[in-house]
Amino acid sequence: MLAAIFFVDVVNAQVAEPADYKLDNFRSRVPERLSGAKTVSTLEAWRLWQAGGVPFIDVMPQAPKPKKLAKGVFWLDKTRDNIPGSFWLANVGYGRLHPDVDRWFRSRLALVTAGRKDKPILFYCLMNCWMSWNAAKRALEYGYSNVIWYPDGSDGWAFENYPLKASYPEFPQTPEAELATAR
């Protein structure tokens, strides 16, 4: 009986919101909120998606094509089923970004918001994935004032049988070695 009570306490334990970016163990329980951002449920994300006008930013990481492939090696980028119409900005949810990745992320956000830092913008990844929390936190630090965080991500979306679409990521133009050390 004591073990069952302990298990329930562990499962129900809330994750404290850290003061800084999450640097490791990205697939672990996330806080219930992000200070300064609006946290939405799957139903709320669905309503925003149906209404249109809010850019959805998928931040799921993915390895970019290596610059120097052996002769005869064929590279095929992996697709990911994400929320239709999303911008998949791969690798911007790490705790530390290479300066080139940071500049690229800023420029992509400026593009999808038409330069309006007050425009709503939604960030997601997978359920229990810190990448979206980090990316949304970073957008707040860039001065975006209407940041929306969707912590259930494409997993929560799929659970409700909402549509998903295979897509390819966008990558910053940064050498892989530098990307790896920026993490």
Task: Read off the pLDDT of residues 141-174 as tens digits, 9 standing for 90 and up.
Answer: 999 999 999 999 999 999 999 999 999 888 776 4
Give pLDDT, residue 173. 60
Of 7-16, 21-30, 131-140, 144-153, the range with the lowest mean pLDDT is 7-16
**What CA–CA distance (Å, rounded) separates 107 from 87?**
13
Do 38 and 147 form a contact (C-beta atoms < 8 A)?
A: yes
Distance, C-alpha 123 to centroid of its chain: 5
Q: 70 in a domain, yes or no? A: no
Tell me the pTM. Answer: 0.84
14: alpha, beta or left, given left = phi > 0 and alpha = psi -120 to 50?
Answer: beta
**What CA–CA distance (Å, rounded) separates 120 from 116?**
9
Q: 119 in a domain, yes or no? A: yes
pLDDT bracket for residue 178 (50, 70, 90)? very low
Q: Which domain holds residue 124?
A: 51-62+78-183
Q: 11 in a domain, yes or no? A: no
Q: 17 in a domain, yes or no? A: no
User: Residue 112's domain is classified under what CATH number?
Assistant: 3.40.250.10
122 SS3 class: strand
Instruction: Spell out the long-range contacts of 138-141 with Cβ–Cβ below 8 A and sequence spacing 24 or more.
Output: 138/21, 138/92, 138/97, 138/105, 139/109, 140/34, 140/36, 140/37
Q: How many domains does the chain have?
A: 1
Q: 20 in a domain, yes or no? A: no
